[in-house]
Amino acid sequence: MFGLGRLRILEAVQRLGSINAAAKELKMGYRAIWGRITASEERLGKALLVRNVGGSSGGGSQLTPFAESLMERFRTLHRTVEIESDALFENEVAARIALTEPPKKTN
């Protein structure tokens, strides 16, 4: 529904102002990006982009306030998961090292 890939797509659309430009930057097909965005919108039940049809003004896309909020909440959650998983890993590694190290000799 939403993960790092969707976040990168929306960040590119936000920065570049179009799905086409985002597709080029991410080296993905336009249809692939369109499909991922549409699938997320259907699962979430909310629009992520406001799409402006091309023509003389050139068209483009911009994020909805919901998409911007979703991105920020995802970033916060992702940072929390990284911090917690790093701490768990460090504790696990420290415990394993303590179990495998020979006892220290005292004089």
Mean pLDDT in residue range 65-81: 96
Residue 100 scores a pLDDT above 90? no
Whether 50 and 40 have beta carbons less than 8 Å apart is answered as no
pLDDT given at position 86: 86
Report how far residue 44's alpha carbon sits from residue 87's, in angstroms, rounded to the nearest whole number: 32
DSSP 8-state class, residue 53:
-
CB 62: neighbour CB atoms within 10 A? 14
* Domain 4-100 part of CATH 1.10.10.10: yes
Confidence of residue 92 (pLDDT cuts 50, 70, 90): confident
pTM of the model: 0.76
pLDDT given at position 19: 93
Report how far residue 32's alpha carbon sits from residue 6's, in angstroms, rounded to the nearest whole number: 11
Of 9-13, 39-43, 88-92, 94-98, least confident by mean pLDDT is: 94-98
